[in-house]
């Protein structure tokens, strides 16, 4: 098949550090190429891929600190629509940005939804002529039935994550430093237990105030290490040796790639019951799904009861890159057959 994969322009594909969508797009592109498909990746110019690369954006918008990103984003999706007749299907990971132009081509579009429904985007959904899938059952909430093709879970390259049975004594928070990710709650849990915690993540411009008022005041404890943003190698080391990953999200998490990555290293996950977390974490098998901070504290004390091998096996079976590529191949074939 001739497939156009359209990535956002915020990060390179694959991302050097943070960038869940771009990591997923990279694995999907390489998997499809290895199966003989003609894949064109629309991404930033510095992207690294075995697919044909098309780009109008010379650098990732986040790293470039662009004041007005919308013109670059519009030019990016406009190029896809202009070249649409070269493909059998367009696989869109840019959400409503590209969906808004679906009536300008007859080539089928599959949109993978990586976030929650935004009410102001309803005008785009009302006019969308295409299909979509979600990355968990929970993340279907709020989206229409029309055009829905089901769930394809995000995948990771399981073999690239080092398995480690023996754990150190630190807890880990890894992700964007933001109120939605509950960074302050992870630190509060560690402080309440008197345990070491490593906090690894980026601070976006939009979250600077949150970091300054809710997180920074909690860092005056020698048991708390603020690592900053971890790259691909560093995060694997942090995952592999952590006693457990704390994931106290305060929003309906569509998937939560860090949970799969931690479990691939044999590290249990303790997560709040939000969005997809009960689908990703098997309660009392690969971690604990909890409802309160008090329950999180109790779960940390039981982290040693989780079998690291069960964590790894769960991810290999359910969230591998191969499983993800299989899922999207099936959707492409079904949609194009119509």
Q: Can you give the CATH number for the domain in which 261 is found?
A: 3.40.50.2000
223 within 8 A of 197, measured Cβ to Cβ: yes
Residues 283 and 331 in one domain: no
pLDDT band at 16 (very low <50, low <70, confident <90, very high): confident
pLDDT band at 18 (very low <50, low <70, confident <90, very high): confident
Q: Where are the beta strands (DSSP E) in the chain?
A: 2-6, 38-42, 52-54, 89-92, 109-113, 131-134, 148-151, 171-174, 197-200, 224-228, 244-247, 269-272, 287-290
109 within 8 A of 131, measured Cβ to Cβ: yes
Whether the model pTM is above 0.85: yes
In this predicted structure, what is the pLDDT of residue 227? 95
Q: Give the residue from 264, 245, 246, 242 showing the smallest Cα distance to 168.
A: 242
Domain tally, the chain: 2
Residue 55: Cβ within 10 Å count: 18
> What own/partner pairs with CB < 8 Å and gap ≥ 24 does 30-36 have?
31/321, 31/322, 31/324, 31/325, 32/3, 32/5, 32/325, 32/328, 32/329, 35/325, 35/329
Q: Give the residue from 85, 84, 94 showing the smallest Cα distance to 43.
A: 94
d(CA 168, CA 304): 11
Q: Give the residue from 284, 8, 280, 287 showing the smallest Cα distance to 154.
A: 280
In this predicted structure, what is the pLDDT of residue 17? 76
- Note the pLDDT tens digit of each residue in 211-260: 999 999 999 999 999 999 999 999 999 999 999 999 999 999 999 999 99
Collect all residues with Cβ–Cβ distance below 8 Å to 300 and sequence separation of at least 6.
171, 189, 193, 195, 243, 244, 246, 270
Mean pLDDT of 158-165: 96
Residue 146: Cβ within 10 Å count: 10
- Phi first, then psi, for residue 2 (nearest 5°) are -100, 110
Residues 104 and 64 in one domain: yes
Residues 202 and 169 in one domain: yes
Collect all residues with Cβ–Cβ distance below 8 Å to 249 and sequence separation of at least 6.
180, 181, 182, 256, 271, 272, 274, 275, 277
Q: Look at residue 328 and give its three-state secondary structure.
A: helix
Q: Which domain holds residue 277?
A: 158-318
Residues 76 and 129 in one domain: yes
In this predicted structure, what is the pLDDT of residue 338? 87
Collect all residues with Cβ–Cβ distance below 8 Å to 316 and sequence separation of at least 6.
158, 264
**Mean pLDDT rounded to a whole number for the chain:** 96
- Note the pLDDT tens digit of each residue in 92-130: 999 999 999 999 999 999 999 999 999 999 999 999 999
Q: Which two tokens stand for residue 258?
A: 């860090």
Residues 50 and 107 in one domain: yes
Residues 92 and 167 in one domain: no
**CA distances in angstroms from 24 to 248, 279, 288, 320, listed in the order given:** 23, 18, 25, 11
d(CA 171, CA 270): 10
Side-chain half-sphere CA neighbours of 158 within 13 A: 21
Q: Which two tokens stand for residue 38?
A: 């003609």
Residues 9 and 134 in one domain: yes
Residues 16 and 107 in one domain: yes
Residues 228 and 249 in one domain: yes
Residues 173 and 307 in one domain: yes
Residues 252 and 131 in one domain: no
Residues 133 and 177 in one domain: no
CA 82 distance to own-chain centroid = 28
172 within 8 A of 276, measured Cβ to Cβ: no
């Amino acid at each position: 098949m001739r497939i156009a994969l359209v990535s956002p322009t915020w990060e390179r594909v694959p991302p050097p550090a943070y960038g869940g969508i771009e990591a997923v797009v990279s694995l999907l592109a390489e998997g499809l190429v290895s199966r003989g498909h003609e894949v064109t990746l629309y991404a930033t110019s510095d992207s690294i891929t075995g697919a044909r690369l098309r780009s109008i954006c010379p650098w990732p918008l986040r790293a470039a600190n662009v004041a007005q990103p919308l013109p670059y984003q519009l030019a990016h999706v406009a190029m896809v629509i202009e070249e649409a007749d070269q493909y059998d299907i367009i696989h869109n990971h840019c959400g409503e940005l590209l969906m808004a132009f679906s009536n300008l081509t007859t080539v089928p579009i599959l949109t993978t939804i990586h976030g929650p429904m935004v009410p102001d985007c309803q005008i785009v959904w009302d006019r969308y002529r295409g299909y979509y899938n979600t990355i968990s059952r929970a993340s279907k909430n709020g989206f229409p039935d029309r055009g829905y093709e089901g769930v394809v879970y995000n995948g990771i390259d399981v073999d690239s994550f080092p398995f480690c049975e023996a754990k150190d004594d630190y807890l880990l928070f890894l992700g964007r430093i933001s109120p939605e990710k509950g960074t302050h709650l992870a630190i509060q849990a560690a402080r309440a237990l008197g345990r070491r915690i490593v906090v690894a993540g980026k601070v976006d411009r939009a979250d600077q105030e949150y970091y300054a008022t809710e997180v920074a005041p909690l860092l005056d404890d020698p048991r708390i290490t603020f690592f900053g943003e971890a790259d691909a190698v560093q995060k694997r080391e942090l995952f592999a040796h952590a006693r457990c990953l704390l994931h106290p999200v305060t929003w309906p998490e569509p998937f939560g790639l860090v949970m799969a990555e931690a479990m691939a290293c044999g590290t249990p996950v303790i997560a709040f019951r939000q969005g997809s977390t009960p689908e990703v974490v098997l309660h009392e098998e690969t971690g604990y799904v909890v409802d309160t901070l008090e329950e999180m504290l109790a779960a940390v004390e039981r982290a040693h009861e989780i079998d690291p091998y069960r964590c790894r096996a769960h991810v290999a079976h359910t969230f591998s890159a191969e499983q993800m590529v299989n899922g999207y191949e099936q959707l492409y074939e079904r949609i194009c057959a119509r």
